[in-house]
Amino acid sequence: MTSAYKHHQYHLGLFLGFGALLWNGTYNALAKGLTPFLSPVTLLLLSEGLTAIFILMTFGFFPLLHEFRKMDRRSIWISMLIGLLCSAVAPLLFFTGLARTSAINASMLSSADIIIILLGAHFILKEKVSHMQILGGSIVMLGVVIVNVAGTGVPSSVHIGDLFIVAGSLFFGTGAVLFKKYLSHMMPELAILFRNISAIVIISFFALFFH
Inside any domain, residue 191: yes
Establish if 157 belongs to a structural domain.
Answer: yes
Count of domains for the chain: 1
Tens digits of per-residue pLDDT, 138-163? 887 787 777 666 655 555 455 788 88
Q: Is residue 17 part of a domain?
A: no
pLDDT digits (tens, 9 = 90+) for 86-114: 999 999 999 999 888 887 778 778 878 88
User: Residue 120 domain-assigned?
Assistant: yes
> What is the residue range of 172's domain?
35-210
The pLDDT value recorded for residue 128 is 85
Look up residue 145 and give its amino acid: V
Residue 19 lies in a domain: no
6 domain residue, yes or no:
no
pLDDT at 35: 85
Q: pLDDT above 70 covers what percent of the chain?
A: 82
The pTM of the whole model exceeds 0.95: no
The answer to whether position 12 is within a domain reads no
Nearest-angstrom CA–CA distance, 57 and 74: 28
Helix residue ranges, H only, the chain: 3-34, 40-59, 61-68, 73-82, 90-98, 103-109, 113-123, 131-150, 156-182, 188-210
Q: Is residue 161 part of a domain?
A: yes
More confident residue, 103 or 73: 73
164 confidence band (pLDDT: 50, 70, 90): very high
